[in-house]
């Protein structure tokens, strides 16, 4: 039994709750191909309609998880993709292969986005190979389990905020000179950035900072015609989960939500398509929650 309700386009009664994920753990940053079960990033029921035809999108963390699902959805809508990843080569190649199968170009860049010069180099090479940047999706992240404020070392805090916040700013600074009117910046925040999380306090704080950064940048860039928005997912089955939490926590991941399960990445991706496309041309400075929780 797979832990997803078969609810698409019809109503079904489920007598039993979905089974938990098998206990498992990985070293950071985590690899999607090693997860049991693999996350679902591609949904056959999603058919593109050319909403992003001719666009070029940079997606950080696009090798796996939400980033992979966004890359696939964008490709279905006609966009060429630039995937930036840390060292997850096999996952990145799997995503590239799927984007290419959909008829779109896909460039892979390995980079440590905690370093501003690597952000600048990635953008420079994107312009060299693609010639334009229309969409920037800041999506990569790191998390640590923190059950007490005493767990948060200086090294951990610096890693969390450099990865989850500073690098977003570095990327926006690097891309800004090439973003024309009508471009879109989409930041991945989290529901825990809105409501907090006692088990990952520095992660939650960094995601809250992303929300404020999004709103502030939206006000700053409105006269440039650049829209800035964020997506705040609830729990999603991605490599971040198995590389952050112990096996017993992983096995119960998402069970405390009203749907009694975590989301699959493909269920999050349509929010990014909306924010990247002209459908959201009047929308900036907003945070779209993708969850079944009441906020």
Cβ neighbors of 101 (< 8 A, separation 6 or more) are: none
Q: Is residue 177 exposed (0-12), middle (13-18) or buried (19+ Cβ within 10 Å)? A: exposed
Angstrom distances, CA of residue 291 to CA of 67, 214, 257, 276: 17, 19, 9, 19
Q: Which residues are catalytic?
A: 203
Torsion angle of the four alpha carbons 118, 241, 146, 258, in this order, in degrees rounded to the nearest 10: 130
How many C-beta atoms lie closer than 10 Å to residue 264's C-beta? Answer: 23
Contact status, residue 244 vs residue 197, Cβ threshold 8 Å: no
Angstrom distances, CA of residue 186 to CA of 121, 227, 263, 284, 286: 20, 8, 20, 10, 10
Q: Please provide the DSSP assignment of 157-175 as one string.
A: HHHHHIIIIIHHHHHHHHH
DSSP 252: T
Cβ neighbors of 121 (< 8 A, separation 6 or more) are: 111
User: Quick one: tokens of 275?
Assistant: 């924010």
Contact status, residue 214 vs residue 283, Cβ threshold 8 Å: no
Cα separation, 134 vs 114, in Å, equals: 23
User: Quick one: tokens of 6?
Assistant: 């078969």
């Amino acid at each position: 039994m797979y832990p997803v309700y078969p609810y698409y386009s019809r109503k079904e009664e489920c007598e039993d709750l979905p089974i938990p994920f098998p206990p498992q753990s990985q070293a950071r940053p985590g690899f999607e191909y090693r997860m049991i079960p693999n996350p679902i990033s591609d949904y056959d029921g999603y058919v593109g309609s050319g909403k992003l035809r001719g666009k070029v999108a940079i997606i950080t963390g696009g090798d796996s998880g939400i980033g992979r699902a966004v890359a696939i959805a964008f490709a279905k809508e006609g966009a060429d993709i630039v995937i930036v990843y840390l060292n997850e080569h096999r996952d990145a190649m799997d995503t590239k292969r799927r984007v290419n199968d959909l008829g779109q170009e896909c460039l892979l860049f390995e980079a440590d986005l905690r370093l501003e010069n690597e952000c600048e180099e990635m953008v420079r090479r994107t312009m060299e190979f693609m010639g334009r940047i229309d969409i920037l999706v800041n999506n990569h992240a790191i998390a640590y389990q923190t059950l007490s404020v005493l767990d948060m070392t200086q090294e951990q805090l610096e890693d969390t905020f450099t990865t989850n916040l500073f690098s977003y700013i570095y990327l926006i600074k690097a891309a800004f000179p090439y973003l024309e009117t009508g471009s879109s910046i989409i930041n991945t925040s989290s529901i825990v950035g809105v409501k907090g999380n006692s088990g990952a306090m520095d992660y939650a704080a960094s995601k809250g900072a992303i929300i404020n950064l999004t709103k502030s940048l939206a006000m700053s860039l409105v006269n440039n015609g650049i829209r800035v928005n964020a997506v705040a997912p609830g729990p999603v089955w991605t490599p971040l989960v198995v590389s952050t939490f112990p096996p017993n926590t992983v096995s119960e991941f998402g069970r405390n939500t009203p749907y009694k399960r975590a989301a699959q990445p493909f269920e999050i991706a349509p929010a990014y398509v909306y924010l990247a496309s002209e459908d959201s041309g009047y929308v900036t400075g907003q945070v779209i929650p993708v969850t079944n929780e009441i906020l």
